[in-house]
Amino acid sequence: MITRLRRSAVLTLLLATLVLSGCDTDSLGGDSVILTHTISEDINGNDVVFAFSSGDIQEGRLVDIFCGCTLDIEAFLNDQGFTKSELISATVQSARIVMLFPTSEQLNFLDEAILKLGATGASDTEVANVSDLPAAREVNLQTLSSRDVSSYLERPGFEPILQINAGDLTDGEDYELSVILTVRMELEGV
């Protein structure tokens, strides 16, 4: 009797699982594939670096810093057997700022940092930010996980823009920061 009840409970649970998973697949509009890709280099294989001098920045004001680089996901997607045309949606899953130079400096000279994406024909959009940076050489940014960035990733190239509010810069000093971001992409399944 107990064995029959257990078997019945297991079959009921299995059936419920199959029904619920079928609903999830239908709500996505069919099969899709999720890929993540960490971007730390531009299309030429160079690190994504934002360089500026203390004399170029007015302390206490947000200033856009450009890397002069272009990012693209096409090679990654091709290696995985996909194309940009199969991209359904994409979000920035994580973003991190790394202090490169001066080597003795920590990131707490920044009061705020905002990471945006830009592309030809599209308005810049904020994807991550951080305030009150700690005395550390690497800092994770808070991502705007609901912001879809697929329209940037679908383009021939896109650019990261780092907007900073520097609170305490050393006079005559040159600074270099690197940004590493991970994107989560949903693609049409095979």
Where do the structural domains in the chain lie, given as residue ranges? 1-29, 31-188
Tens digits of per-residue pLDDT, 17-70? Answer: 333 333 233 334 569 999 999 999 999 999 999 999 999 999 999 999 999 999
Interstrand relation of 174-188 and 49-53 (parallel, antiparallel or unpaired): antiparallel
Q: How many residues does the chain have?
A: 190
Tens digits of per-residue pLDDT, 125-168? Answer: 999 999 999 999 999 999 999 999 999 999 999 999 999 999 98
Q: Is this model's pTM higher than 0.85 or not?
A: no
Q: Quick one: which of 117, 129, 126, 130 has its CA closest to 161?
A: 117
Which DSSP category does 44 fall into?
T
* Cα–Cα distance for residue pair 186/34, rounded to 1 Å: 5
CATH architecture of 31-188: Sandwich (2.60)
* Cα–Cα distance for residue pair 187/17, rounded to 1 Å: 24
Cα 143 from chain centroid (whole Å): 7
* pLDDT of 112 over the 70 cut: yes
Q: Which residue has the tokens 């994807």?
A: 127
